[in-house]
Amino acid sequence: MVQDEPQRNDIIETIESINFIVDRDEEYIFNNASIRYVKSMFGSGFKITQAS
């Protein structure tokens, strides 16, 4: 028995979210976190902030 195996829907939602964020240089807010794709002189990447 495999524990903590991602479900198909979880994987699809993750992929769609990441692609959507990369395409649009904006911030996206989910139920308990916001994800923003940021670019700076140090490079680019995702900034993930958990809502309090």
Taking alpha carbons only, the member of 41, 13, 36 closest to residue 25 is 36
Instruction: Give per-residue pLDDT as tens, 1-52.
Output: 555 665 555 555 555 555 444 445 566 667 777 777 778 788 887 777 876 6
pTM, whole model, 2 decimals? 0.34
User: What pLDDT does 20 receive?
Assistant: 47
User: What pLDDT does 21 receive?
Assistant: 46
Taking alpha carbons only, the member of 15, 48, 13 closest to residue 34 is 48
Other beta carbons within 10 angstroms of residue 34's beta carbon come to 13
